[in-house]
């Protein structure tokens, strides 16, 4: 766990408080999903929990310096370099790299088994953060920024809500694990309750 602590400190130093708060939430989601998989007796035996946690902390590490375009590739590269400096075994570094490299891409259900379990969980944990009442507020803010002179009428609000629902369905269908889909359903229900 010394490695995880060093990784968390590095992530906080690079990402700052806000960025670290977000990746800490992703790490918490990773842990919850892994525990749920274990309880549901899904194939969690092959899971390298330490690699998953490390990948959770480092999956956005490049965004401060390089932005989000292809951040999964640059973050994987930067994570590997940092971990080599800590003398982390090559096998674990490889798992972390693979998880980070795959955390931005949805895969079809038929292809899921070709993606490492750590990558599938990290993808789900990262996406779950987008399913909240905050998504509604963000959509309203974006609408206001795009159309500053347009009032938010009932019709406009209904269109925004349809957009959010469509995005939710896309996101839900892309999730890799049963626990993530269950959590997503609950979060979406909470979002609808927030809207009501």
* Model pLDDT, residue 24: 94
CB–CB of 11/61 below 8 Å?
yes
User: Which range, of 16-20, 134-138, 144-148, averages the lowest pLDDT?
Assistant: 134-138
* Model pLDDT, residue 45: 66
Count H helices and E strands in the chain, helices first. Answer: 9, 0
* Model pLDDT, residue 134: 61
The residue with greater pLDDT, 42 or 168, is 168
For the residues 149-169, what does the mean pLDDT come to? 78
Q: How far apart are the first and last CA of the chain?
A: 44
Nearest-angstrom CA–CA distance, 128 and 132:
8
Q: Is this model's pTM higher than 0.85 or not?
A: no
Nearest-angstrom CA–CA distance, 25 and 85:
26
For the residues 149-155, what does the mean pLDDT come to? 80
The residue with greater pLDDT, 129 or 31, is 31
CB–CB of 40/87 below 8 Å?
no
- Tens digit of each residue's pLDDT (9 = 90 or more) over 78-114: 999 999 999 999 999 999 999 999 998 888 888 888 8
Could you give the maximum distance between any two Cα atoms of the chain, in Å? 58
CB–CB of 164/135 below 8 Å?
yes
Query: For residues 39, 98, 134 and 144, what is the CA-based torsion angle, rounded to 10 degrees?
Result: -160
- Tens digit of each residue's pLDDT (9 = 90 or more) over 38-81: 887 656 568 999 999 999 999 999 999 998 889 999 999 999 99
CA torsion sign for 113, 63, 23, 137 is negative
């Amino acid at each position: 766990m010394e490695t995880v602590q060093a990784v968390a400190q590095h992530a906080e130093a690079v990402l700052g408080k806000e960025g670290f708060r977000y990746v800490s939430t992703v790490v918490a989601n990773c842990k919850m999903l892994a525990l749920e998989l274990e309880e549901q007796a899904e194939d969690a035996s092959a899971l390298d929990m330490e690699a998953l946690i490390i990948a959770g902390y480092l999956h956005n590490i490049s965004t401060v310096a390089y932005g989000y375009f292809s951040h999964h590739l640059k973050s994987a590269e930067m994570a590997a370099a940092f971990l080599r400096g800590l003398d982390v075994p090559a096998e674990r570094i490889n798992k972390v790299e693979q998880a980070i490299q795959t955390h931005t891409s949805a895969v079809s259900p038929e292809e899921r088994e070709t993606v490492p379990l750590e990558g599938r969980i990290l993808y789900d944990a990262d996406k779950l953060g987008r399913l909240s009442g905050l998504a509604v507020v963000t959509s309203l803010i974006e609408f206001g920024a795009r159309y500053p002179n347009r009032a938010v009428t009932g019709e406009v609000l209904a269109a925004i809500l349809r957009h959010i629902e469509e995005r939710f369905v896309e996101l839900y269908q892309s999730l890799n694990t049963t626990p993530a889909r269950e959590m997503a359903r609950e979060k979406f229900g909470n979002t609808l309750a927030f809207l009501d």
